[in-house]
Chain A
Amino acid sequence: MFEDIVLLAHGSGGKLTRALIHEVFAKHLANPLLSKCDDAAVWAALPSGARLALTTDSYVVQPIFFPGGDIGKLSICGTVNDLAMVGARPLYLTAAFILEEGLPLADLERIVVSMASTACEAQVEVVAGDTKVVDNGAADQIFISTAGVGVVPAGIHISGDNAQPGDVILLSGPIGMHGLAVMCQREGLHFSFPLESDCAPLNGLVEAMLRSDSRIHCLRDPTRGGLATTLNELAVQSGVGFEIDEESIPVPHSVQAACELLGLDPLYAANEGKLVAIVPPHAQESILAAMRSHPYGQGAAVIGCVTSSHPGRVVLRTKLGSSRLLDMLSGAQLPRIC
């Protein structure tokens, strides 16, 4: 009954649409709220005083499958991580798919299976969804938008404007793996060493950190624009200066090597399974220990501190002992010509 590629008719709202929903989406993402097939998911009221967190993001990565992940895994992790970065426990997600006519159904199913297993790991449910099919060429294979809702426990106040002079800046592990893995796959560059995306849901790591000490001031995942851009965003938002020690930033050899070859800087390469935490100095030890005992925070390190001087600017102390500005990414990173 199934063609092996996505047809415009799959988005018509008729029988093929129902078949697609049942045989791909509902099959893998099933849960009581989704399976009711109502126009909206309805769930029990939250305890009074609980605060809700809501976020949304769209995913258009090319290639749709890359070492260490795929667009489906990314679409769950990205939204889960955005919720986790305000200290929220993610509960429910929605997923909207824009499918290009001609996409192999096997690819779609592989992506949905990946979403299901990532959602399972993150302990979230996809409770509502939508599918549209567009003409060949009007989209690039598949675009996914996810939105997520989560609950912020009482006593947690995490925001990008909370960094205080004297705070310590922590990084959960080695940088640049997602950006370089995707770029090398896209450009058909092969290395003799493995280069895999770090794409991962970080809500478990954040919960472990909060259990060790709830006084985390800021959390942010350094995705597009990389670590340098995230640090600049936080410094501006909090109106404080950052001093970063280049030596302390973990960069895998594989990322360093690929960056050297391509003329890129790992500080600006995207991550999808890392976070920056800014914590008061007395909480540093316990939070760092909690990070290092979690699978997604084993490579955690202290990378710098917050200062009241040069507000809104990030200063990098280089390995050679000099200091320079660490600016935001401007435009796209491009390799040098000569």
Chain B
Amino acid sequence: MKYIDEFRNPEGVKRLLRLIHGRSQRPVRLMEFCGGHTHAILRFGLRQLLPPTVQLLSGPGCPVCVTASSDLDRAIAMAHLPGVILTTFGDLVRVPGSAGSLQTAKAQGADVRIVYSCLDALAIARAHPNRQVVFLGIGFETTAPTVAATILQAKADGVANFSVLSLHKLTPAAAKAILDAGEVHLSGIIGPGHVTTAIGSRAWDFLPRDYGIPCAIAGFEPLDILQAIYSLVDMIEGDAQAVSNAYTRSVRPEGNHVAQQMIQRVFAVAAAEWRGLGDLPDSGLSVRTEYAPFDAIYRFPVQVGPSQEPKGCRCGEVLRGIAEPSQCRLFAQGCSPEHPVGPCMVSSEGACAAYLQYGEV
């Protein structure tokens, strides 16, 4: 299939692997920021093909995983309000909050519906004018523009029973938080391909400039990822730090202006709570006051108690790159995709779920 087969070509993979094996001398620790990368790396078995000098760590780039318990508790409280239909992406319904999940809320009678896109939620609102439809907006700079577009559409069409609980997060802020914490020493970062398509590769210039480490933006096919790894190894061996783009068919230095403008029109940068990273300033997106009627926080000011993290769960450390999923004593022992304790075991982009599903042999 065009644009897929070329980037899974076994000959190309072998060629890149030869280059990486030939160039890599120093031990390097690279973080793949994005959960999609973790998933692809394990699905294609790439780790076992790399030289022992190259260590890959999973990062915080899984939107479901970084959603804080307190935010989930708020969503569950909204789902229980009379007349509310809570719409969400599928993964999120199974993530345990402080007490129960959206899935258990649904079983208790809340109207929780899985949608494929925010526009589906708007369609539900149109079809049920007497109900209040709340869309649980999670995701990074990739998802936020589509949610912004839906809010603009709802405003233009005068759909009065639609709102968004915006839990959107900004990725560069998370990368900074991990590096500032200094818990893990990183030699380089494999940059998120889809996010960077939206925000542009320049958004990562702070990595070489402020932290002295290189970044290579990668797509999600084996050749994309290996090309990014080669680029990082090559820069590190040459003592060069820059942002390189190994996903040129999608990513531009300036990013996607339309997407950026859409975000800026509807959302304002705000502090956000991240699971594992805590409260980070300027790391989230809240709905601007001029669109307040479409802001679920404004429309349904529910109160939730202090949130609790699941006991023994090390998702927070996995998201910060300081623990591998298998180092958690719950991994595959009481925490599995069927009975997840933490969010990293729920999402298809979560590191724990990927490690368990594709466990190397």
Where the two chains meet, the residues of A that have a C-beta atom closer than 8 Å to any C-beta of B are 187, 253, 256-257, 260, 263, 310, 313, 315, 318-325, 327, 330-332, 334-338
Residue in contact with A327 in the complex, picked from B45, B116, B356, CB distance below 8 Å:
B356
- Name the A residues within 8 Å of B48 (CB-CB): 322-323
**Nearest CB to that of A243 among chain B residues?**
B361
Residue in contact with A337 in the complex, picked from B10, B46, B91, CB distance below 8 Å:
B91
A331–B138 touching, CB < 8 Å: no
A330–B357 touching, CB < 8 Å: yes
- Name the B residues within 8 Å of A315 (CB-CB): 361
A334–B348 touching, CB < 8 Å: yes
Interface residues on B, range: 35 or more
B337–A331 touching, CB < 8 Å: yes
Residue in contact with B358 in the complex, picked from A321, A325, A335, A338, CB distance below 8 Å:
A325
Residue in contact with B36 in the complex, picked from A322, A324, A331, A336, CB distance below 8 Å:
A336
B140–A338 touching, CB < 8 Å: yes
- Name the B residues within 8 Å of A322 (CB-CB): 44-46, 48-49, 360
**Nearest CB to that of A241 among chain B residues?**
B361
Residue in contact with A330 in the complex, picked from B8, B14, B116, B337, CB distance below 8 Å:
B337
Q: Given A256-B1, A323-B45, A337 and B89 touching (CB < 8 A)?
A: yes
7 contacts between A and B (CB under 8 A): A253-B1, A260-B4, A313-B361, A330-B336, A330-B337, A337-B349, A338-B142
- Name the A residues within 8 Å of B142 (CB-CB): 338
A320–B222 touching, CB < 8 Å: yes
Query: Counting chain B CB atoms within 10 Å of each CB, which of A320, A335, A337 scores highest?
Result: A337
Binary flags per residue of B24-61, CB closer than 8 Å to A gives 1, else 0: 00000000001010010011111011000000000001
Q: Given A325-B360, A336-B36, A330 and B338 touching (CB < 8 A)?
A: yes
Query: Counting chain B CB atoms within 10 Å of each CB, which of A260, A313, A320 scores highest?
Result: A320
**Nearest CB to that of B34 among chain A residues?**
A338
Residue in contact with A257 in the complex, picked from B1, B139, B222, B356, CB distance below 8 Å:
B1
Give the distance in Å from the alpha carbon of A313 to the alpha carbon of B356 in the complex. 13
Let me know if B278 is at the binding interface, CB within 8 A: no
**Nearest CB to that of B220 among chain A residues?**
A336
B91–A334 touching, CB < 8 Å: yes
Given pairs A263-B348, A334-B89, 16 additional interface contacts (CB within 8 A):
A256-B4, A260-B4, A320-B49, A322-B44, A324-B45, A325-B358, A325-B359, A327-B356, A327-B357, A330-B357, A334-B91, A336-B36, A337-B138, A337-B349, A338-B61, A338-B194
- Name the A residues within 8 Å of B334 (CB-CB): none
- Interface of chain A: mostly helix, strand, loop or mixed: loop
Min distance, Cβ B360 to any Cβ of chain A, angstroms: 6
Min distance, Cβ A306 to any Cβ of chain B, angstroms: 16
A260–B143 touching, CB < 8 Å: no
Query: Counting chain B CB atoms within 10 Å of each CB, which of A256, A321, A336, A338 scores highest?
Result: A338
Query: Counting chain A CB atoms within 10 Å of each CB, which of B49, B222, B357 scores highest?
Result: B357
Give the distance in Å from the alpha carbon of A256 to the alpha carbon of B42 in the complex. 19
Give the distance in Å from the alpha carbon of A280 to the alpha carbon of B14 in the complex. 35
Give the distance in Å from the alpha carbon of A337 to the alpha carbon of B43 in the complex. 18
Let me know if B351 is at the binding interface, CB within 8 A: no
B358–A327 touching, CB < 8 Å: yes
Number of interchain pairs (Cβ within 8 Å): 93
Min distance, Cβ A168 to any Cβ of chain B, angstroms: 21
Let me know if B129 is at the binding interface, CB within 8 A: no
B140–A318 touching, CB < 8 Å: no
Binary flags per residue of B334-361, CB closer than 8 Å to A gives 1, else 0: 0011100000000111000100111111
A321–B10 touching, CB < 8 Å: yes
Give the distance in Å from the alpha carbon of A334 to the alpha carbon of B43 in the complex. 16
Give the distance in Å from the alpha carbon of A171 to the alpha carbon of B361 in the complex. 24
Min distance, Cβ A180 to any Cβ of chain B, angstroms: 14
Give the distance in Å from the alpha carbon of A325 to the alpha carbon of B349 in the complex. 17
Let me know if B318 is at the binding interface, CB within 8 A: no
- Name the A residues within 8 Å of B207 (CB-CB): none
Min distance, Cβ B167 to any Cβ of chain A, angstroms: 12
B89–A324 touching, CB < 8 Å: no
| Residues of chain B from 235 to 275 with CB closer than 8 A to chain A in the complex | none
Let me know if B64 is at the binding interface, CB within 8 A: yes
Give the distance in Å from the alpha carbon of A313 to the alpha carbon of B116 in the complex. 33
Min distance, Cβ A113 to any Cβ of chain B, angstroms: 32
A318–B45 touching, CB < 8 Å: yes
Give the distance in Å from the alpha carbon of A98 to the alpha carbon of B243 in the complex. 61
Min distance, Cβ A25 to any Cβ of chain B, angstroms: 35
**Nearest CB to that of B195 among chain A residues?**
A338
Let me know if B189 is at the binding interface, CB within 8 A: no
10 smallest CB-CB distances across A and B, nearest first, come from A322-B45, A330-B337, A334-B90, A338-B142, A325-B359, A324-B45, A324-B358, A327-B357, A320-B13, A337-B63
- Name the A residues within 8 Å of B46 (CB-CB): 320, 322
Min distance, Cβ B166 to any Cβ of chain A, angstroms: 14
Min distance, Cβ A190 to any Cβ of chain B, angstroms: 15
Give the distance in Å from the alpha carbon of A332 to the alpha carbon of B64 in the complex. 16
Let me know if B94 is at the binding interface, CB within 8 A: yes
- Name the A residues within 8 Å of B89 (CB-CB): 334, 337
- Name the B residues within 8 Å of A324 (CB-CB): 42-43, 45, 358-361
B8–A337 touching, CB < 8 Å: no
| Residues of chain B from 198 to 218 with CB closer than 8 A to chain A in the complex | none
Give the distance in Å from the alpha carbon of A318 to the alpha carbon of B14 in the complex. 13
Give the distance in Å from the alpha carbon of A313 to the alpha carbon of B359 in the complex. 11
Give the distance in Å from the alpha carbon of A324 to the alpha carbon of B359 in the complex. 6
- Name the A residues within 8 Å of B347 (CB-CB): 337
A337–B337 touching, CB < 8 Å: no
**Nearest CB to that of A325 among chain B residues?**
B359
Give the distance in Å from the alpha carbon of A315 to the alpha carbon of B361 in the complex. 8
Query: Counting chain A CB atoms within 10 Å of each CB, which of B49, B336, B358, B361 scores highest?
Result: B361
